[in-house]
């Protein structure tokens, strides 16, 4: 059996505006209960990949806090691990702080972990997938690199600034470019690469010889130009690219719809996350909740519609919340009205009685603010 190591790549930049000022998207709250990184880590875990490295670009504090010392994702808690891979040297040199340099600084993965195959996956593109058939196809096709991709029909607004691919007639990838939102019907890279260990090392030496600023993605594009056998593996089913605060809010709230939920959450593909030992959510006599995700530990005595309420949130009577996402440990006081907003952690809204954004421009309230 081939030995597989998973790398969760947090270098490919995805900013959710103010939401990711002090944390990477990987540890950003999602659906009131998860962090984004739970999804790639659960994909690895459910695919039987127990050895995982996390390529951290910035804000390691927030990642460490989420991962803690738990064994949430490992099958064997001695043999399995999630290793933090961080490149201290370049942490304040943006041009050099890329995944290639991170892997070079953490080259123990080649000499100690020594997997045959790497699966490299991001945290800002969300999709459930079993990597085992992808690895099998990668090996059967003797591909140098396999890129998982999806065909979308809304490329003008989705995956913008993400990677677009071109496929030749035999299914090989012959082009890797940036999606500038010109067309709707396009094939997009899920920034997920299956690559043998020796070929990853070759790719790194190509990158070093070509440009010190080359990221993994740049090196892959370069290798395609050199005529490497880069295969495409099409993913069908749920996939979303989180590229902005608007996307974050929309994609989150879209999961309230059953047909989306049932694609992401299935009995055979559990999503693991860290437990906080919070009690069940509590509803008061005045509570009125419709079409919402409600996380444990929250106490609700107001009206909440089409919204996501995270852990330990308190919503007092007379408060009305619509089309919004409220992060953990935030309190919404009596008679406060909130719509189309994203309210970060540890906020207290009591004095301000009306916070209204729009669908296009949701209002964001910073962590710890008092309103």
Residues that bind other proteins (CB under 8 A): 31-33, 256, 261, 265, 270-273, 275, 277-297, 299, 308, 312
| Least CB distance to other proteins at residue 70 (A) | 10
| Least CB distance to other proteins at residue 270 (A) | 5
List the Cα angle 288/294/299 in 5-degree steps.
65
206 pairs with which residues across the strands? Answer: none
Give the SS3 label for residue 174.
strand
| Least CB distance to other proteins at residue 296 (A) | 5
| Least CB distance to other proteins at residue 322 (A) | 13
| Least CB distance to other proteins at residue 92 (A) | 34
Residue of 35, 33, 34, 39 whose CA lies nearest to 25: 35
Give the SS3 label for residue 140.
helix
Segment (H or E) for 237: none
| Least CB distance to other proteins at residue 266 (A) | 9
231 pairs with which residues across the strands? Answer: 146, 172
The residue written with tokens 């890797």 in the block is 176
Task: State the Cα–Cα distance between residues 51 and 82, nearest whole angstrom.
Answer: 6
Angstrom CA distances, 208 to 94, 160, 215, stand at 17, 28, 10
Complex with other proteins: residue 189 or 310, whichever CB lies closer: 310
Q: Which two tokens stand for residue 6?
A: 């998973």
Strands 29-30 and 34-35: antiparallel
| Least CB distance to other proteins at residue 89 (A) | 34
| Least CB distance to other proteins at residue 118 (A) | 26
Complex with other proteins: residue 234 or 262, whichever CB lies closer: 262
207: left (phi over 0), alpha (psi -120 to 50) or beta: alpha
Task: State the Cα–Cα distance between residues 371 and 286, nearest whole angstrom.
Answer: 23
Task: State the Cα–Cα distance between residues 293 and 295, nearest whole angstrom.
Answer: 7
């Amino acid at each position: 059996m081939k030995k597989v190591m998973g790398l969760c790549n947090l270098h490919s930049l995805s900013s959710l505006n103010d939401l990711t000022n002090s944390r990477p998207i990987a540890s950003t709250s999602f659906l009131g209960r998860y962090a984004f990184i739970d999804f790639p880590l659960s994909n690895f875990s459910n695919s039987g990949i127990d050895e995982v490295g996390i390529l951290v670009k910035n804000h390691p504090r927030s990642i460490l806090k989420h991962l803690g010392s738990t064994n949430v994702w490992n099958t064997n808690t001695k043999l399995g691990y999630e290793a933090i891979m961080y490149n201290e040297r370049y942490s304040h040199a943006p041009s050099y702080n890329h995944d290639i340099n991170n892997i070079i600084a953490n080259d123990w993965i080649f000499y100690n972990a020594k997997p045959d195959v790497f699966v490299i996956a991001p945290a800002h593109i969300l999709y459930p997938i079993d990597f085992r058939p992808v690895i099998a196809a990668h090996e059967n096709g003797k591909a140098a690199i396999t890129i998982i991709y999806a065909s979308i029909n809304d490329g003008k607004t989705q995956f913008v600034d993400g990677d677009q691919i071109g496929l030749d007639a035999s299914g090989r990838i012959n082009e890797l470019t940036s999606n500038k939102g010109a067309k709707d019907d396009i094939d997009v890279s899920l920034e997920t690469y299956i690559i043998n260990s020796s070929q990853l090392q070759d790719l790194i030496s190509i990158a070093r010889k070509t440009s010190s600023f080359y990221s993994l993605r740049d090196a892959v594009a370069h290798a395609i130009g050199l005529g490497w056998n880069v295969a495409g593996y099409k993913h069908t089913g749920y996939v979303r690219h989180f590229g902005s605060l608007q996307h974050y809010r929309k994609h989150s709230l879209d999961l309230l719809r059953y047909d989306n939920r049932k694609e992401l959450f299935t009995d055979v593909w559990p999503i693991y996350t860290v437990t906080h030992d919070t009690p069940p959510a509590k509803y008061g006599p005045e509570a009125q909740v419709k079409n919402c995700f409600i996380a444990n530990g929250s106490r609700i005595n107001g009206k909440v519609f089409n919204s996501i309420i995270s852990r330990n949130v308190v919503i007092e009577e007379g408060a009305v919340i619509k089309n919004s996402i409220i992060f953990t440990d935030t309190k919404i006081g009596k008679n406060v009205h909130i719509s189309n907003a994203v309210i970060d952690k540890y906020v207290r809204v009591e004095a301000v009685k009306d916070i209204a954004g729009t669908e296009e421009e949701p209002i964001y309230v910073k962590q710890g603010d008092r309103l």
